[in-house]
Amino acid sequence: MRIRRVLALVLAGLIVIAGGYAGYSAVRSHRSVSLAPSGPFAVGRTVSEWQDVARADRPLSVWLWYPVKAGASGANAPYAPGDWSHLHKFGIGQTAFGRIKTGTLLEAPIADGRFPIVVLMPGMGFSAPQYSTIAASLAARGYVVAGVTPTYSANVTVLNDHLVTASASGDPQTMTDDKAEALIPVWTADALFTARQVAAAYQDHVDARHILYVGHSFGGAASLEACRQDAACAGAADLDGTPYGPVVDAGLSKPLLLLSSGSDGAATDTSTRLLFHASSGSAHAYTIPDARHFDFTDYAAYYLASPLRLLLPLGHIDGRRALTITSGYLGAFADSAARGSPWTAPTYPEIHPVEMLG
């Protein structure tokens, strides 16, 4: 009888603790989070849907972040409107999307002048909105950033107001080298097509002679290969991605930046070493030892309940700090590669250069 009473008391205590934590999570999930960028320009955002006529089965949703004309105003661009809200996976365990302030203006007029293009490719399964922090930070520095959501590879795409999910071939549960090599041409074509479309749609506002390709994870691999194929490429940045495709052996003649995590990074992969050895352009490699794979996405900026943070690949580094470091390095690299500024690595004590590559 005494054991039953003890067990009942323990169970009651656990229920109280669980209820209290659920209440705490509900409160935390409704606290506002700001992703507002800092820089010389205010940032606008719009979404376009483009069809690659050369690939009838390849419509693309492209999110655009861009410098806004001085003095323009507008409504705050919502983080993930409409069916994009399906990106929210964890209920009260995650910041409510309606409480995220993007700090960007919805469809505000683009600034006068011509700005280099950045094509931003996500990681496998991810969508463009989940990189709003780094996209807006580049736009605030004076870049037109086109975030691509690869159709049938992203878990959430919205096309013509309809939700489109990933296919088995577009987002393999197990990514083998053969499957990666089969998908690289598709993603590379997405990146190259997007660059052409931005150049055509915004011809009075972009400098199509200087295009940067930036990608996270598998998107980093596609960005490297797109840069190899595009004569207008000014440089490519790979965020924690393993290189695949012809670029591994051919290398790049344009500037290259690799920024990797300490736990999950690709900095010492054989393919990365081959790429750096084959490249004739300037090549820079750095690692953030306390970061992990998701710290290059907006997951690093959200509130996530403690059990979720343990399950997801997020490191010990403060997530907002990881995004600040990433944005700082991408901005410095973009200014050097596309605008000719001298390359000077930003100074952050958390980041280490990788000397073994080259």
What is the spatial distance between Cα 351 and Cα 32, in angstroms, rounded to a whole number?
29
Nearest CA-CA partner of 358 in 301, 253, 295, 276: 276
267: confidence class by pLDDT, cuts 50, 70, 90: low
Render pLDDT for 235-252 as a digit per residue (tens, 0 to 9): 999 999 999 999 999 999
Kindly state the tokens that stand for 53: 């006529």
* Side chain identity at residue 259, one-letter code: L
Helices 177-201, 218-229: axis angle to 10 degrees equals 60
Helix (H, G, I), strand (E, B) or coil at 239: strand
pLDDT for the residue 213: 98
Q: For the chain, percent helix, then strand, then coil, each to nearest 5?
A: 40, 20, 40
Q: What's the farthest any 2 CA atoms get from each other in the chain?
A: 82
What is the spatial distance between Cα 25 and Cα 48, in angstroms, rounded to a whole number?
35
Render pLDDT for 25-84 as a digit per residue (tens, 0 to 9): 566 778 999 999 999 999 999 999 999 989 988 999 999 999 999 988 889 999 999 999
pTM here is 0.91
pLDDT for the residue 19: 45
Render pLDDT for 194-237 as a digit per residue (tens, 0 to 9): 999 999 999 999 999 999 999 999 999 999 999 999 999 999 99
Where do the domains of the chain lie? 31-353
309: confidence class by pLDDT, cuts 50, 70, 90: confident
Domain 31-353 fold is Rossmann fold (3.40.50)
Number of Cβ within 10 Å of residue 333's Cβ equals 26
90: confidence class by pLDDT, cuts 50, 70, 90: very high
Kindly state the tokens that stand for 201: 């749609």
